[in-house]
Copies of this chain bind each other. A is one copy, B any other.
Amino acid sequence: MALLPLLSVAGDITGSALPMAVVDDQRYNRAIHIMVMLLIGFGFLMVFVRKYGRSALTATFMLVSTSLPLYLLINRINPGHGTDEIDRLIYAEFCAASLLITAGAVLGRLKMQQYILLGLLFVPFYMFNEWMVLQGGLGLIPSGAVADTGGSIVIHAFGAIFGLGVALTMTTKQDFEKTIESDSTSDRYSMLGSMALWIFWPSFCAALVPPDKMPHTVVNVILALCASTLTTYLTSVSIRKRISIADIANAALAGGVAIGSTCDSASHTMAVVIGMMAGGLSTIGFSIIQAKQQRFMKIIDTCGVTNLHGLPGLMGGLAAMPVVRGLHMENQLMGILITIVVAFLTGLVSGKILPFLGRKVESYEDVDEFVDAEN
């Protein structure tokens, strides 16, 4: 089966020869791996902001604790992914990952309660897009006709573009004058987050892949990550003359983002190629495009999610067209287009609602909201 989109998998698996208790356990281990990515991975990656570490980690806790139960609740009312508890948990985690990407775009400019509100707004919008792109919602695309096993489009690109929509209202003029500082300790924490994401990425992409396709899938993801990591280093020193640790911590992961749509169908060689392209594209994003984008859009994208999740996510979605056999180009393009439009518009709407809770006084600093944060 060449075409293996996110949603058709559960059904395929249930039909396999393995007992459900075995399949559930396999997926449970993936679900825990993804949980490491959500909390330690995304959480510590965002600790690169020197004076905002307590906030970034607390926000991560809040975003995850808001989105998982809310997704499970809505999904219980409208069980789009079947009723297997572990499958539902994994889909909820995918949503939480996308939300954390969104939060990265406005990190440091939201109060703690605004992160929670962001989560409440994000989850239904995310599920609406997931329903349209993967489950045949509104009849725009047949169910299962978009290749996006590891979520390049519906998780990564959606989260990044939603984040840009939010950033449009959640960036003030003063924010442009404030530099986002890091230091050697925050950089090392950030690399911890990056490595946690890198390590468990194969489980993210293979979480719902049938057991017999798992080995090929996980090796593909690892190859794409190795390729993007090496390419990031080479591109970073080529452009900047020196290495930027922010490039390494972020762009090294772009291979994982981009291989998402094709992780189970690409050849190993193709996985390496996609990884290299993603690493290069992402590093160019961080080193060259980001400054221009921020001036052009009048936003600040704190973590550069455009470069890590947006561009590589879209690239990965497009790469599926030549790579995945049996894929109808118009469906894949439509899936990407819907995601872009829905993400941006719903992000924009959310960004209009968040300021009702006010604005953070000192951007990028714990001291605003935390007891004893002077040290």
- Enumerate chain A interface residues (CB-CB to B < 8 A): 16-19, 21-22, 24-26, 28-29, 31-33, 35-36, 39-40, 43-44, 47, 51, 53-54, 57-58, 60-62, 64-66, 68-69, 72, 84-86, 89, 112, 116, 181-185, 187-189, 191-192, 195-196, 198-200, 202-203, 211-212, 214-216, 218-219, 222-223, 225-227, 229-230, 233, 237, 240, 242-245, 248, 252, 268, 272, 366, 369-373, 375
B188 with A47: CB separation less than 8 A: yes
Q: A18-B19, A39-B199, A89-B218 are in contact. List 15 more A-B contacts (CB 8 A).
A: A18-B22, A21-B214, A24-B215, A39-B195, A40-B195, A40-B196, A43-B191, A53-B187, A57-B188, A57-B248, A58-B245, A61-B252, A85-B218, A116-B230, A245-B370
Q: A62-B229, A215-B86 are in contact. Are A223 and B69 (CB under 8 A)?
A: yes
Copies of this subunit: 3
* Contact assessment for B191 and A57 in the assembled complex, using a CB-CB cutoff below 8 Å: yes
By beta carbon, the residue of chain B nearest A181 is B375
A10 CB to closest chain B CB (Å) equals: 13
Contact of B214 with A28 in the complex, beta carbons under 8 Å: yes
In contact, A243 and B184 (Cβ under 8 angstroms): no
A369 CB, min distance to chain B CBs, angstroms:
5
Cβ contact within 8 Å between A21 and B212: yes
Chain B residues within 8 Å of A64, by CB: 226, 229
Which chain B residues border A61 with CB–CB below 8 Å? 195, 198, 229, 233, 248, 252
Please list the 3 inter-chain residue pairs (A to B) with the smallest Cβ-Cβ separation, ordered nearest first: A85-B215, A21-B211, A183-B375
For A203, what are the chain B residues with a Cβ–Cβ distance below 8 Å? 32
Given contacts A85-B216, A191-B57, whether A200 and B33 have CB atoms under 8 Å apart is: no
Closest to A213 in B: B21
The answer to whether A184 and B375 have CB atoms under 8 Å apart is yes
| Contacts A112-B233, A226-B69, A233-B62; A182 near B215 (Cβ below 8 A) | no
